Each structure stands twice: as structure tokens, then as C-alpha cells.
Structure 1
Amino acid sequence: MNNINENDFSRIDLNLLVVLMVMYEVRSVTQAANRLYLGQPAVSAALKRLREMFDDALFIRTSYGMTPTPRAEQLVQQFAPLMQGLHRVIFTPDAFDPQRDNRRFRIGISDWLEQWLMPDLLAELATAAPGVDIHVVAADPWQAIPLMEQQQADVVITVGNEASRDLTREKIGPAGFRTVWSCQQIALERLTLAQFVGHQHALVSYRGASESALDHALQRLGKSRRVRYVTPHFSSLPLLLQQLPLFATVPQGLAPAWCQRYGLNAAPVPVEMPDYELSLLWHNAQHDDPANRWLREILCSLLQRKI
């Protein structure tokens, strides 16, 4: 763009170039007018403007019709591929073919969602979209809105209901929590409220808070718990629970894999808690992009299956 003077284009009407191309093909003002659904005076006026623009007669009237000049021949040869390309760009928008196209998508996601979703997503993409790469961008619920407003990700998987006029949020569905612990550290088969508040807890907080909605639910019952360990990372909890007599209350999607891989136990939280709502969040500028739309459909389907 550095070599383009935008003011030069203010004097150019692309419709004139269409007249030039059609005139070259049919060699007749009358036939050009019929082809373009214009009157002969309109085509004659366009031809006059073309001659002024290029300072050349362009077409000479002969007994064989309107014969192009060498300048017209040169212009048509140069403009033909450009006009074809312009037509393709305007009227044939690029589609996205996951089987053939190479693309890197940036997915904003928190660490527990990454553990829960990404192995299944990558396994699915290995056959459905072999040329697609995934770049995970750290995005806890407080980061999701500003991250997407600045278009630092193609889509964010998040919780909450925060809105922005620049973004679209598609709610996928609700999910709940499970309390997990190691039976080697806390020997019990059935989790009761008394046992729940009788042991210490680990808490994941992205902002370092020592309380959560769970503590507020306990307070309404006149109960409280001791939170001994606060971390912004879910990934540290399984090994921690194997070493210490702690409870951790985590999104329910994590519990089956943790129980299988780390020998942990899981049970419903023994106090009523509100579910969280999983959503996809994307910038409105990406709304109609075929590749982004394909990614959103893949993620939506995966989330619904796993919920």
C-alpha cells in the first residue's frame, strides 16, 4: 500500500473498465449496450470518458466494427486477470475446508478447561482437521472479556454472564461441582457435611480470594471451613491431595479423570451450590468468518457431549 496514492482512485469508475472489457469482446457499441443492459448513449458516454482517462482513442470505427487500438489491447491484457480476481474476491468468499486448509486457532481457556477439553479436541482434530493447530491463551473468567475485546484469541471458553457490545456469547449449558479427596489421607466412604467442614480445604482462586460461593453457602447454614491452601491452578491439586488430608471442590468434569489417574475419591458437594454456565465468547468481527464459525461448532458440540 505504500506505493498507492488513494487520491488517484477517486477519479476511476470501475464500471468504465467493465465497458472497456465488454467493448473489446463484442466490438460494437450497440451490442455492448445490450450486454450491459444500458442505452447506447450511456455506453457512448462511458467510451468518451475512457478515452479521456487513457488519452487514447481505444476503439476505431471500421467496416469490421469497433477495432481496438494497441493501447486498448494492452489495457485489456492487463485488466483481464485483475477483473477476474476482483470478481472472485467479491462474489466468491473463501470457504474453510478443515480437511485441506492449514490454520492456527487461538483458544482462550482456563487451566481446568484445558485439562478437561483439549485432549478430546486434539484427538478429534487429528482426523477431522489435520492441518489445524491450536494455540491456548490463558483466560480465566476475569480475563475473558478484555482478551476478546482486544481480539487476542479467536474464541474463549468461559463461565459467567459478563457482556460487551463488541462480543457475542453463546451459552452451552450448566454444570456443577464435585468434592475430591484421597482415601489414603481421609478415610471415609460417604461424605457428610460434618466431615466436609471438619477437614481442611484447598481452594482455586484466580484472584487470590480465600472465600468462594461455597463459603457463602456454608455461612447460610451457620457453618464454615478452613481453607489452608489457595492456588490459581487446578493442575496442582491432585498431587497435593495425595500428600495431605485436604478436600478440594472442583468442576465436575475434572473428577472422573482425577479419580482414575490419581486414585482419588469424588462425591457431590454436601451443601447446595449454584451451577456454573459454560459459554463460548467471540468478537463480532469474527461472527461470519467461515473458519471461526467451524471452530465454534466443533467446540459447542464437544462441550455439549462432555457436559
Structure 2
Amino acid sequence: MNQIDIGSVDLNLFKVFEALFEEGGASRAAIRLDMTQSAVSAALRRLREVFSDALFVRTGRGLAPTSRARELKPIVSEALDRCRQSLAIASPNAMTFHGRSVSIGLSDDFEIAIGRRLSDVLSTSAPGLRLIFRQTHSQIVGDALANQEMDLAVSGAVFGSRGLRQQILGEGTYACLVDAGRRRQPTLTIDEYVSKGHILVSSGGVVGIVDEALAALGRKRTVVASTTHFASLPYLLKETEAVATIPRHAAEAIAALTGLALLACPISLPSYTIALGWRSSAMRDAAVVKTHAAVVDCISILTSKESS
């Protein structure tokens, strides 16, 4: 195969590739790039010629990347990030970020707790910037950051991968949620706690930190349902006798919005680390720097509430 001369390739094609990969369709990529759909389709034809691969195949839900496209994605995104960083160096004190986006990996408990506040902070400090919240959890977050699937990530895990940096933002604790209409007492005894049905929130496991703490006391609980999403708890708890034990920051946010009762957990549970991770190179980007500062500010408010 003959080597392709970079001078013969329109480098704007790589922006189209990134948009197609992340949006999963030509129409959505066109909206994101402020292009016509026909122009995006024409760019995809040229990309296919350059890489001698279909790159994206049509499915019932849009365009799915081929294995070659998945191989190219981190390389293309890194190259585009470097270009964005060079522009940030040229304009380090940018005041508007229209057309820019920053992706943040976090579990939905943190999205519930800080998502709105984070958007409000950045609307002032980085006007025009679009936030993309990506669901993640501690088992996959390090690889997702390293593979450039997100720019920043908040997690209970410590980031130890090569090329990643981290900042410990504080520690989190746990609290219980129950239906306020069925709760007359402001506290929950351990006997009541173990007698209730429990809603477990877990990314995949069937045993949680509560089970470990109860086992140490020679007690057990009954889990009546499991879910991967904190956002579903109001629907699972309302008009039931069940209880959910979750990170306090999410419990407070859900209770404030839904009227569920927030109660102290009657057993001792260990606190957990809240860490912010990012790729070392990403902090050359002014948009990521602004978002980093906003995340630190929002998490500090959460941790100060929990320690007070």
C-alpha cells in the first residue's frame, strides 16, 4: 500500500470522524459541527478512501464504528486535543467556549449531587461550554480516562494508571432513604434496619458494603431489589417499607427533590475516598482547566456538608 501524503488529506475530516464516532449518526454529527448532512456524508466517503475501511456501518440505531474505527479513535482524539491545546496556548485567557465540550465521567450519584451546580458554575466561568456527563464506575474509570473516552472523572477509586493524575477531594459517608409518609421516628434502630427489605444499588455485584458490616455484627439483611441507577430509588422506595443505604451526597439530593426521608445509618460504615482524575496532557486545555476548577469547587461543598 502506498503511503498517504498528509498534504493531500483535509485535516477537517478528523473532526468529522470524531463527531461521527461520538454521536453515532450523520445527522447528529452534522448538527454538532454546524454542517449539512450531505457534507458529513461526503466527508465520510473521503475518510473511507483514506483508511480503506468502512469505518462506520449502519444499524437500526444509527452508525456503529468498525474495529478499525475503534483503533483510530484514541489516536484521532489525541491529535485533535493537541491542536486544541495549541490554540489554548495562543489564547490562554479565553472568555468564551462556544463549540467546545468537556466530558466528565462519574456515577449517577455524583451527577445527581453536583450536575446542576456544575452547569451553573461553568455557565459563568466558561460561557458556551457544553458538558457531557458519561456514566462510569470504579472498575472501568481508569481505562476510560486513559483511552480518552472522557476528559475528567470523579470516582471513589484512586487513579494509578500511567499518564493519569489525580487529586483527592475528600471523603464520603453513607445515609439511608425511606418513604417519609411511612416513617414516624427520626431515627432507625438496627433491628428495624435488618427487618426491612433493602434496595441495593450496585454496578453488578450482589453483595454490598452494608452486607459486610452486618456480617461483622452477626446480622443479615434481605435485599428485595437491585438496581444500577440511583435515580430510580424514588420509584422503588415510594409507598413501600423498604430502605436504601447510599452515599450521603446522593441521599441528600434525592431527599430534597422527592420528599423521601433522610436517616442516619444505624451501623458503622467506612468512609470512602472521592478523587478527581485526568490525563496529564489534558490540563493544557483551558476548557478542561475551567471544568477541573468547577468540579473541585462543587465537590468541596459536598464534603464540607458531610463533615459538618
Q: TM-score range by the shorter chain?
A: 0.5 to 0.7
Stretches of structure 1 lacking an aligned partner (at least 5 in a row): 6-88
Cα deviation for residue 147 of structure 1 reads 0.5
Q: Does 1:237 align with 2:233?
A: yes
1:157–1:278 Cα contact (<8 Å) kept: yes
- 155, 158, 183: which one pairs with 1:158? 155
Aligned residue type for 2:174 = F
Q: CA deviation at 1:240?
A: 1.4
Shift of 1:171: 0.7
CA distance in 1, matches of 2:152, 2:87: 27
Alignment of 1:226 with 2:222, yes or no, is yes
> How far does residue 275 in structure 1 lie from its aligned partner after superposition?
0.8
Give the Cα separation in 1 of the matches to 2:121 and 2:86. Answer: 33
Q: Percent identity?
A: 24
Correspondence 1:26-37 to 2 at 5 A: none
> CA deviation digits over 1:52-87, x for unaligned, max 9?
xxxxxxxxxxxxxxxxxxxxxxxxxxxxxxxxxxxx
SS at match of 2:238: helix
The structure showing larger relative contact order (alpha-carbon pairs under 8 Å, at least 6 residues apart) is 2
Residues 31-61 of structure 1: per-residue CA shift (max 9 Å, x gap): xxxxxxxxxxxxxxxxxxxxxxxxxxxxxxx
Q: Contact (CA 8 Å) 1:154, 1:292: kept in 2 or not? A: yes
Residue 293 (structure 2) aligns with: 297
Distance (Å, rounded) in 1 between the aligned partners of 2:104 and 2:88: 28
User: 3-state SS of the aligned residue for 1:243?
Assistant: coil
Contact preservation (8 Å) 2:178, 2:260: yes
CA distance 1:172–1:246, change in 2 (3 Å): same
Number of aligned residue pairs: give it: 223
Matches within 5 A, 1:1-307: 2=5, 4=7, 93-97=89-93, 99-102=95-98, 103-207=100-204, 209-307=205-303
The structure-2 alpha-carbon separation of the partners of 1:145 and 1:90, relative to structure 1 and needing over 3 Å to count, comes to closer
Counterpart position of 1:32: none
Q: Distance in 1 between matches of 2:283 and 2:122?
A: 22
Q: CA deviation at 1:115?
A: 0.8
Q: Which amino acid aligns with 1:182?
A: D
Question: Which amino acid in structure 1 is aligned with residue 152 of structure 2?
Answer: V
Q: Deviation at 1:270?
A: 0.9
Q: C-alpha separation between the residues in 1 aligned to 2:192 and 2:87?
A: 67
Cα distance in structure 2, aligned partners of 1:167 and 1:206: 23
Equivalents in 1 of 2:88, 2:138: separation in Å? 38
8 Å contact kept, 1:98–1:132: no
Q: Structure 1 residues 90, 120: closer, same or farther in 2, change over 3 A?
A: closer
Find the residue that maps to 2:199 and give its secondary structure: strand
Could you tell me whether the CA contact under 8 Å between 2:173 and 2:248 is conserved in 1?
A: yes
Q: TM-score, normalised by structure 1?
A: 0.67
- Distance in 2, matches of 1:226 and 1:196, equals 10
Q: 1:239 to 1:92 in 2, by over 3 A?
A: closer
Quote the residue 1:76 is aligned against.
Answer: none
The CA distance in 2 between the partners of 1:116 and 1:92, in whole Å, is 30
CA distance in structure 2 between the aligned counterparts of 1:108 and 1:247, rounded to whole angstroms:
28
Opposite residue 227 of structure 1, the aligned amino acid is V
State whether residues 107 and 136 of structure 1, in contact with CA within 8 Å, keep that contact through their aligned partners in structure 2. yes
Q: CA deviation at 1:92?
A: 9.3
- What displacement does 1:98 show? 5.3
2:6 and 2:164 map into 1 onto residues whose CA distance is 36
User: C-alpha deviations, 1:167-194, integer Å up to 9, x for none?
Assistant: 1111100010101101323543321111
Compute the TM-score of the two structures, normalised by the length of structure 2.
0.67
Change (3 A) 1:267 1:90: closer
Distance 1:162 1:298 in 2: 20
Kept in 2, the 8 Å contact 1:186–1:246? The answer is: no
State whether residues 192 and 270 of structure 1, in contact with CA within 8 Å, keep that contact through their aligned partners in structure 2.
Answer: yes
Counterpart of 1:63?
Answer: none
